[in-house]
Amino acid sequence: MLTTTYSMVVLSSEQQNTRRILGKLEQYLHNGSWLCADGVDRVWLERVLHTLMKVHRYCHERKVELYVIPALRRSTADAANLLERIDELCSDAKRILLHVCSQFESAESGRFADIRALVTTIELYCRQLAARLSLEEDELFPVARRHLSTEAWFHIAASCLPRQRHVH
């Protein structure tokens, strides 16, 4: 029971951190100045893309993605529809991210005309990720609590522990 509780605390903390990073990206989108004297502000554009990639990378390095979802796939067929919905959100977000990268490359080569379209696309990515986080919190975590064995939770908890270097 303590391993489940510990794991859920770590998972919840990661969810909050992901939402915080996502919020910073959204804030930067709305507070940044897109244009400068030469057209699109490339520094702003690069920062937005860098932050977007950081959010995307962080999302896929979370414990829920690395340990909980694979454990659920192995342990129960009852979660198949839920996992399929999460996979769809993930695929949609990846397609959106590829589109953003394509728009960014166009901007870098001077062929980019519509910064608002880029911002709208990034906002769509943010909505997809927020929907995924909500689905994980509202449905995935309760399903995991019901279906994962004590042994699975122990493995997840052990994976959540900080790695310490042993000095010889």
Nearest to 35 by CA among 45, 48, 27: 45
Return the pLDDT at 164. 44
Rounded Cα–Cα distance for residues 60 and 146 (Å): 24
pLDDT in tens, 99-137: 988 888 776 666 655 777 888 899 999 999 999 999 999
First CA to last CA distance, the chain: 34
Residue 18, amino acid: T
- For the chain, how many structural domains are there in total? 1
| Residue 141 within a domain | yes
Cα distances from 47 to residues 38, 50, 101, 139, in angstroms, run: 17, 5, 13, 33
Asked, for residue 96, whether it belongs to a domain, the answer is yes
Full-model pTM = 0.85
27-53 pLDDT, tens per residue? Answer: 888 876 666 666 667 788 888 888 899
Give the up-direction half-sphere exposure of residue 22: CA atoms within 13 A in the CB hemisphere: 21
Task: Please check whether residue 57 lies inside any domain of the structure.
Answer: yes
In a domain, 3, yes or no: no
* Residue numbers of the domain that contains 143: 8-157
Phi-psi region of 112 (alpha: psi -120 to 50; beta: other; left: phi over 0): beta
